[in-house]
Amino acid sequence: MATPRRQPTKAQIRHQKMEELVIYPIDWLEERSGLVGGIRYFLFRNVPSDVNWMQTLGSAALTAFLVQAITGVILAMYYVPSASTDPATGKPVAWESIVNISDHLTLGWLVRGMHKWGASVFIILMFLHMGRVFLFGAYKYPRELNWIIGVLILLTGMLEGFTGYLLPWDQTAYWATVVGINLNGTAPILGPWLAQFLRSGQEIGLETLPRFYSLHMLILPGAIIALITLHLYLVVRLGVTSPPWSKDAAGGEPVEVEEPARRPGLTRPVPRTANGAAMQAEPGGRD
Amino acid sequence: MAAIPREKPTRSGEARAEFARYKSDVKTRGKPFFPYAMFHDTIMSLVVVATIIGLAAIWKWSSWGPHHDPTHKGLLGPIVDPPADPGTTSFVPRPDWYFYFLFYLLRIFKWPESVFLGTIGIPTIALVLLIALPFYDRRLERRPSARPVAMVAAVLTIISMGVLTWKGATAKEALASEVIQDVPRWIQQENLPPAAVPGAKLFATAGCTACHTYAGSGGSNLGAPDLTSIGTRNLGIQFQINHLKCPSCVNPGSPMPKFASLGETRLHQLAVFLESSKGTH
């Protein structure tokens, strides 16, 4: 005898509809992009249970970079990359726009100050992060490539510092850049060409400032964002290293592990499980 | 079915096995990134943002002088420096602090013999060593206590970078107002003829001593040579003028800026002074 089916109450129907309303766009996006699964994988992937506070330095550097990106975009709305002289005041236009940002714009001093000092914080955090990776030996197999990408990020970050230093177009900036470019020029073969390219001619002049501006806010940020994306992709794919002093890779107490299977790869046969399905072929594969 | 022949254990085989063990261990006994690791990351990020805002605020609020003067040096330097003026020569070129270690290298290596080491040689070698690190340090050992060579190398690197940065930060700057007081001593020690005196005063005030040393005065920056006895090389007045106008035209690769803006008269005075500098007695 079938039990009489209870009709759902109005409240239950409403609840169900609400749920569908929320889930539908998520499902829509997931079906067409796989993004939701990707984000879920990123958030809920396992890390060793004894990750150290020192291992927050990478994300701290990323935060400092994001501060640079956001404040940089705001500064770009008010900064004028022109070394020509304002006929009304006799001062360079770029320098005047910096004074305007610092003195007259609401919270302009904060945005400019955060960008200026955020640059130093970003550089310091990159160096500290590199020191942590060195201390943990985290550049060793299979993370060699990510070490190289990290060094390139550091290099690009320092070039951002070099190009950004000129933009206020003040005495210190101008003369430090004159000498900085002259020093580039002493390099063999490429040096003179590079110096010529940076100056956009024989002398630092009206065309140098827009060139540095373009490098500083288009080319180098593009490069650094691409490198950071690759860097993070490899961190997620290869996993977070446990501190070298932990007894066990997963961070807990060591347990008896059976002889591990050889890592399958492109050049060796992929072992098959009992039901014939291929085992996970890549170390960072989805769960 | 033929058994797959067992490979003998190799370094790379061992590395792969260890990584596979790490992967499976973390998968079975690790903890999810969210919320555990992400919690730490969030706190650290908040500290970073707060530090940046704090620095901006200290910069702003400590650098207003008595007359609301934005060029007043606060705890973290003035809000604005005077605008760039390519016509001035009395400058002290100084990069941002994280380039001080490179900047100071050029006090050690001098033009023309070894300046190449400071500008290109050592930085390039350091960069190559840094990038190639995973390829020459191929041991799998990760514990710092079992990597004495790596740890000693790291400590030495940190100390030398720190010392160079510190020396660069505290490097004495030769201010024109101080150097001008040394001119009578130069005249006496170098036995300068009266014709060389205007050039000596110009040399002290035009910014030459920001990089060059002369009879114990001046800054010794950016690989610039000592000029105490430059006159003994008998390069000639015309050479000196041409060189001041465009140093890199005369000495290819010279990082010295051009001083053509001083004008013929003053360039001639400087050239006479330089040619008269035969060394201290």
- Range from A8-12, A165-169, A275-279 that averages highest in pLDDT: A165-169
CA distance A182 to A196: 9
What CA–CA distance (Å, rounded) separates B279 from B147? 53
Return the amino acid letter for B47: V
- DSSP single-letter state for residue B210: G
Residue A184: the pLDDT is: 80
Choose the closest CB to B33 out of A44, A131, A261. A44
Local confidence band at A282 (pLDDT 50, 70, 90 cut-offs): very low
pLDDT band at A7 (very low <50, low <70, confident <90, very high): confident
**Cβ count near B227 (within 10 Å):** 18
Position with higher pLDDT, A230 vs A265: A230
Minimal Cβ distance to B120: which of A114, A162, A187? A187
Give A72 or A271, the one with higher predicted confidence.
Answer: A72
Let me know: does B167 contact B104? Beta carbons within 8 Å: yes
According to DSSP, residue A216 is labeled I
Q: Do A182 and B16 touch (CB under 8 A)?
A: no
The helix/strand/coil state of A67 is helix
Q: Which residue of A has its CA nearest to B211?
A: A179
Q: Which helix (H) or strand (E) element contains residue B16?
A: helix B11-29
Q: How many residues does chain A have?
A: 287
Q: Which residues, in sequence order, are bridge partners of residue B199?
A: none
Note which residues in 159-218 of chain B have CB less than 8 A from chain A.
Answer: none
Q: Evaluate the CA torsion angle B226, B227, B228, B229 in order and state its sign.
A: positive
| CA distance to partner chain A, nearest, from residue B189 (Å) | 31
Domain boundaries, chain B: 32-83, 176-276
Give the CATH number of domain B176-276; options: 1.10.760.10, 1.10.3210.10, 2.102.10.10, 1.25.40.10: 1.10.760.10
Average pLDDT over residues A62-89: 96
Whether residues B80 and A248 touch (CB distance < 8 A) is answered with: no
pLDDT of the residue at A148: 98
Token representation of residue A12: 């239950």
Neighbours of A96 (CB within 10 A): 19
- Partners of B214 in the β-ladder: B217
Q: Within chain B, which residues score under 70 in pLDDT?
A: 1-9, 64-71, 89-91, 174
Q: How many CB pairs under 8 A join A and B?
A: 286
Q: How far is CA B104 from CA A178, B10, B167, in A?
A: 17, 46, 7
A-chain residues within 8 Å CB-CB of B48? Answer: 60, 63-64, 67, 121, 125
Q: What is the pLDDT of residue A49?
A: 87
CB contact B32 to A (< 8 Å): yes
Does A276 have pLDDT greater than 50? no
Tell me which chain A residues have a C-beta less than 8 angstroms from the C-beta of B3. Answer: none
B251 vs A: CB within 8 A: no
Lowest-confidence pick of A10-24, A50-64, B193-207, B247-261: B247-261
The predicted complex's ipTM stands at 0.83
The string of pLDDT tens digits covering residues A165-207 is: 999 999 888 988 988 887 787 777 888 888 888 988 777 888 9
CATH label, A53-238, candidates 3.40.50.720, 1.20.810.10, 3.40.20.10, 1.10.1200.10 = 1.20.810.10
pLDDT value at residue A175: 85
Looking at CA atoms only, how far is residue A19 from chain B in angstroms?
Answer: 24
**DSSP class of A83:** -
Mutation choice for B interface testing from A134, A184, A270 by most B CBs within 10 A: A134
pTM for the model stands at: 0.83
Residue spans of the domains in chain A: they are 53-238
Indicate the helix (H) or strand (E) that contains A46.
Answer: strand A46-47
